[in-house]
Structure 1
Amino acid sequence: MKMVWVITGVILILTAAVLAGFLYLKSKSIGDPESIIDYVQEHRETENMAMVIRYNDEDWVSINKDVPLPLASTVKIIVAIEYARQAADGKIDPQQKVDLKTLEKYYVPKTDGGAHEAWVKSLADDAENVPLSEVANGMIAYSSNANTDYLIKVLGIENVNKLSDVLQLSSHEEMYPIVSALFIPMELMEDKGFTKEEALNELKIMSLEEYRKRAINIHQKWETSPPQEKDKQEVVKVLDTEFQKVWSDRLPRAAAGDYAELMKLLNSKSYFSKEVHSYFDPVMEQLMKNPSNREWLQHAGQKGGSTAFVFTISMYATDKEGNRIEMAFLANDLSNLEFKKLSNNMNSFQLEFMTNSEFRKSVKEKLH
Structure 2
Amino acid sequence: MYLYLWIVFIGFILFTALPLFSAKHRTVWKVVQVVVVTFSIILAVFVIEVLQIPPLPVIIFVVIVSFLTDRSTYTKTGAIIVSVIVILIGGAAYYIFHDDPDYVQKYIDNNPDLASMHVSVDGESIVSEGADMKRPLASVVKTIIAIEYANQATKGTVDPGELIALEELEKFYLANTDGGAHPAWLDEMSASNKIVNNEVPLHEVAKGMIMFSSNANTDFLIEKLGADSINHVIEALDLENHDPVYPVVSALLVSEFVNEQHDGSLSSDELKELLQSMSLEEYREIAWEVHDELKEGEADFFHESVSIPMDLQKIWSDRLPNATVKDYGKVMRAISDNTATVPGGEEVLRDVMEWPMELHASNREMYAHFGAKGGSTAFVLNQALYVEDHKGKKVELIIFTEGFSFIEQIKISRNMNAFLIQVLDENLG
The aligned residue for residue 242 of structure 1 is 311
- After superposition, where does 1:192-231 map in structure 2 within 5 Å? 192-193=262-263, 194-197=265-268, 198-227=270-299, 231=303
Whichever of the two has the greater Rg, that structure is 2
User: Residue by residue, what CA displacement relative to the aligned partner does 1:82-123 show, whole Å, maximum 9, x if unpaired?
Assistant: 100010111001111100111111000010111100111112
* Residue 32, structure 1, aligned to residue 100, structure 2: yes
Cα 1:271–1:180 shift into 2, 3 Å? closer
Aligned to 1:6: none
TM-score, scaled to structure 1: 0.84
Is 1:67 the equivalent of 2:136? no
Secondary structure of the corresponding residue to residue 304 of structure 1: strand
Q: Partner of 2:321 in structure 1? A: 252
Cα 1:15–1:155 change in 2 (3 A) is farther
| Structure 2 equivalent of residue 275 of structure 1 | 344
Name the counterpart of 1:131. 201
- For 2:317, the aligned partner's letter is S
Instruction: Name which structure has the greater RCO, CA cutoff 8 Å, separation 6+.
Output: 1
C-alpha displacement at 1:36, in angstroms? 1.8
Equivalent in 143, 162, 166 of residue 213 of structure 2: 143
Q: Secondary structure at the match of 2:352?
A: helix
Contact 2:171 2:297 in 1 (8 A): no
Equivalents in 1 of 2:51, 2:152: separation in Å?
Answer: 31
Relative distance call for 1:117 and 1:157 in structure 2 (3 A) is same
Q: Secondary structure at the match of 1:123?
A: helix
Percent identity of paired positions between Structure 1 and Structure 2: 37
What residue number does 1:168 align with? 238
| CA distance in structure 2 between the aligned counterparts of 1:12 and 1:60, rounded to whole angstroms | 42
Q: Partners in 2 of 1:252 and 1:13 — Cα distance?
A: 27
Give the Cα–Cα distance (whole angstroms) in 1 for the partners of residues 122 and 152 of structure 2: 31
Matched to 1:119, the amino acid is W
3-state DSSP of counterpart to 1:111: coil
- The offset of 1:278, in angstroms, is 1.9
The SS at the match of 1:195 is coil
The answer for the alignment partner of 2:80 in structure 1 is none
Tell me if the contact between 1:141 and 1:286 (Cα under 8 Å) persists in the aligned partners.
yes
C-alpha distance after superposition, 1:248-297 (max 9, x if no partner): 11111001111111111111124545521121111100011133322221
The separation in 2 between residues aligned to 1:62 and 1:230, in whole angstroms, is 44
Q: 2:368 — aligned with what?
A: 298
Cα displacement string for residues 335-367 of structure 1 (whole angstroms, at most 9, x for unaligned residues): 11221122111211121222246x98xxxxxxx
Distance change in 2, residues 1:229/1:139 (3 Å)? farther
Shift of 1:32: 2.4
Shift of 1:229: 10
- Structure 1 unaligned blocks of 5 or more: 1-9, 17-29, 361-368
**Aligned partner of 2:388 among 318, 328, 332:** 318
Question: 2:407 corresponds to which residue?
Answer: 337
Whether the 8 Å contact between 2:117 and 2:398 is mirrored in structure 1 is yes
**How big is the shift at 1:192?**
2.6
Question: RMSD in angstroms over aligned alpha carbons?
Answer: 2.4
Secondary structure of the residue that 1:275 maps to in structure 2? coil
Give the whole-Å Cα distance in 2 for the aligned partners of 1:192 and 1:121.
Answer: 39
Shift of 1:163: 1.3
Whether the 8 Å contact between 2:339 and 2:346 is mirrored in structure 1 is no
Aligned length: 332
Of residues 90, 93, 99, the one that matches 2:156 is 90
Q: Distance in 2 between matches of 1:11 and 1:67?
A: 33
- Residue 31 of structure 1 aligns to a residue in which SS? coil
Structure 1 counterpart SS, 2:329: helix
- C-alpha separation in 2, matches of 1:116 and 1:79: 17
Residue in 1 that maps onto 2:82: none
More divergent stretch after superposition (240-249 vs 181-190): 181-190
1:345-364 map, 5 Å: 345-356=415-426
Q: Is the 8 A contact 1:305 1:311 kept in 2?
A: yes
Label 1:111 to 1:79 Cα distance change in 2 as closer, same or farther (>3 A). Answer: same
| Comparing 51-60 and 95-104, the one that deviates more | 51-60
Higher helix share goes to which structure? Answer: 2
CA distance in 2, matches of 1:118, 1:271: 29
Question: Aligned letter for 1:231?
Answer: H
Q: Deviations over 1:184-203 (max 9, x none)?
A: 11221221334133222110
> Is the CA contact (8 Å cut-off) linking 1:11 and 1:113 kept in structure 2?
no
Cα deviations by residue, 1:197-256 (Å, 9 ceiling, x for unpaired)? 3222110111100000111111112332343695233xx23x111111111111110011
